[in-house]
Amino acid sequence: MLDVVAQNEPLIDRLIERASEVIRSGRYILGPEVEAFEREVAEHLGVDHAIGVSSGTDALLVSLMGLGIGPGDEVVTTPFSFFATAGCIARVGATPVFVDIRPDTFNIDVAQVASAITGRTRAVLPVHLFGQACDMKALWEVACQHDLPIIEDAAQAIGTTSPAGPVGKLGVYGCFSFFPSKNLGGFGDAGLVTASDEALAEKARVLRAHGSKPKYHHGVVGGNFRLDALQAALLRVKLPALDGWTAQRRKNAARYDEAFANAGLPPDLLQSPTRRFEGHIYNQYVIRSSRRDELQAHLREKGIATAIYYPVPLHRQACFQHLGYETGSLPEAERASTEVLALPIFAGLGEAQQGRIIETVVGFLGGSR
């Protein structure tokens, strides 16, 4: 599904050199490596402020805490995402309010957001799923009408652009992840908060270190959400390669798109992902098929790894049953969870390898017509 070792291989000498420098420096937490990474990644993403944190999950947590969201508050979000999106809302004591997704992009259906807003809503938390931006222009209008801040979950969308601008710059906070399977993968857990507003950026910076400012004086309760110097130093080596990897992912996506379009299969058997906006970075290439489970089993038999993101939508998770969302309440998210299948798309995927995946997918589904 993803060969992280192969991707790091061309950079291995530099990575080891930088790791030993950090080990010899004796500065392992925050410090100059983290500050340098924050400057470089802010410039790369076109954002004003970047704050390195311990994971993408903690980026979400810090953002929610930075806005003072807590018990009694509601946050409108998508039911079709990695668990952390809604998990963090619950962890600060607030209630996730789920709005169904668009069937074409898997992203939150902005047209349904307004009707989910109540007097208790304190923020909207969209996810740029699989690397494609949400309709941020439309979401902005809704959020502005109700005077609500947007927190962007851009964990899968580093470098994604939308017609409204680069992701991470469109909300009051942007949340990124360097989990190894993300487009810019670290060597363990790491994440980033972005912000345009200096005061909100400073809040995140303070929350990241137990709310301490100055040291040992705590105006607010934060946590240990700090980024390691080692992660920052290694991510600095990988960052300049990111655009090249993204270009390769797009090329791989275009190859799948073309091959699947030419296969002439009915859309219920095989549907390529919709690219609604340019600027998709394809963290995942996710097809839909009514025969998803059989297709996945067949591919597994042929030695081809795939993944299901996500088999259970968030509103149907056991931990959220008390929220009262019945089966059928968010039909598009539920249908997607039974039909989606992510195919290998990583930058080092060989053309021959990909050709075999295409043949196997089309061969299996073609034979089942």
Ligand X SMILES: *Cc1c(COP(=O)(O)O)cnc(C)c1O
Q: Please report how the helices 229-238 and 32-45 are oriented relative to each other, as an axis angle in degrees rounded to 10.
A: 40
**150, β-bridge pairs:** 124
For residue 50, give every residue at least 6 positions away whose Cβ sits within 8 Å of its Cβ, in sequence order, or none: 38, 39, 41, 42, 192, 193, 194
Look up residue 76 and give its two tokens.
């409108």
Q: Is residue 225 a contact residue for ligand X (CB under 6 A)?
A: no
- Residues, the chain, total? 369
Q: Does 82 help bind ligand X (rule: CB under 6 A)? A: yes
Q: Which of residues 119-148 bind ligand X (CB under 6 A)?
A: 127
β-strand partners of 174: 152, 194
Strand, coil or helix: 286 = strand
- By DSSP bridging, strand 49-53 and strand 191-195 are antiparallel
Q: How far is the CB of 110 from ligand X (least distance, A)?
A: 17
Structure tokens at 279: 């600027």
Choosing from 41, 67, 84, 299, the residue that interacts with ligand X (CB under 6 A) is: 84
Single residue of 31, 96, 174, 191 touching ligand X by CB under 6 A = 191
Q: Is 191 or 344 the residue whose CB approaches ligand X more closely?
A: 191
- Does 177 engage in binding with ligand X (CB under 6 A)? yes
Q: Contacting ligand X (CB under 6 A), which of 8, 77, 78, 156?
A: 156
Q: Give, as ranges, the residues between 17 and 56 that touch ligand X (CB under 6 A).
A: 55-56
The site that binds ligand X (CB under 6 A) totals a number of residues, namely 15
Q: According to the binding rule CB under 6 A, does residue 183 interact with ligand X?
A: no
> Which residue has 């979950």 as its token pair?
153
Which of 91/291 has CB closer to ligand X?
A: 91
The answer to the question of residue 161 lying near ligand X (CB under 6 A) is no
Site membership for ligand X, residue 192 (CB under 6 A): no
The amino acid at 356 = R
Shortest Å, Cβ 127 to ligand X: 5
Specify the pairing of strand 95-98 against strand 121-125: unpaired
Q: Is 159 in the site for ligand X (CB under 6 A)?
A: no
- Residue 80 interacting with ligand X (CB under 6 A): no
Measured distance CA(78)–CA(147) in Å, rounded: 19
Residue ranges that bind ligand X, judged by CB under 6 A? 55-57, 81-82, 84-85, 127, 153, 155-156, 177, 179, 189, 191
